[in-house]
Amino acid sequence: MKKSIPIFILTLFLSSIISAKDLRKSAEENPLDCAFYLLTKDKGDINAETLAQVYFDIGNFDKAIKSLDFETNDYSKLMWLSHYSEKLIKQNKYKPANKFLDKALSILRADEDSDWENSYTQSIAYSLAKSNREKEALEISSHQEGNFYQVLVLNTIGKALFDKGNKEKSLYYFDKSYRLLELNSENLFEASQIGSFFAKLNQPKRAVEIADLIEQKLINS
């Protein structure tokens, strides 16, 4: 007796054929889709980052993200994903920005050895906080080794919430950052940033306190 092919396998097989045909047909009709098709087949001199930029510029954000899937360097992927999400948030386009942020987080979470301490994760934390995703922004903070990097991310979250107009929450994160700060010659800029925001958040005594500590540290160095 002949073995029957499971219906779900047959369905997947047929759908993959249809999808490939649709992609080829679209490639024949549209130069951009043609470039994307060549990218998927690793044919031609098609740069994933350049194609993603073109798709982003015309507002096809899903295709921009799919194009970046073909970028083999995760660091470069995070750079572009953070760049695009921040750019969209500046335009108050939070829905598409969240798609780029979701992709960035999936890359970071996919590998235990992911570099959570690169400069782009700070940008991602900023965009997450600005998009009312504080819990996920704090996830980035929790992956930082040592107080210095945690302070960097907490300052970033505090700044994002300040820019958003949520001064109460902003003060909470700068206060948390200040309590973690171990002032030394390497983090004077971060300390001054905290002091600056304390001043903006109507905390003049604390701002002066930090300024005095920084001055003393400079005198003794």
Measured in degrees and rounded to the nearest 5, phi and psi for residue 172 equal -60, -45
How far apart CA 208 and CA 140 sit, in angstroms, is 30
pLDDT digits over 82-122, tens only? Answer: 999 999 999 999 999 999 999 999 988 887 766 676 778 89
Q: What is the pLDDT of residue 172?
A: 97
Q: What is the pLDDT of residue 157?
A: 96
Dihedral sign (CA 150, 151, 152, 157)? positive
Average pLDDT over residues 164-189: 92
Average pLDDT over residues 45-74: 90
Cβ(17)–Cβ(4) under 8 Å? no
pLDDT value at 13 more than 50: no
Q: What is the pLDDT of residue 89?
A: 95
How far apart CA 85 and CA 210 sit, in angstroms, is 33
Q: Which amino acid, one-letter code, is at 148? A: F
Q: How many residues does the chain have?
A: 221
How far apart CA 124 and CA 107 sit, in angstroms, is 12
pLDDT value at 10 more than 60: no
pLDDT value at 75 more than 90: no
Burial of 5 (0-12, 13-18, 19+ CB in 10 A): exposed
Q: What is the pLDDT of residue 27?
A: 47
The whole-model pTM stands at 0.79
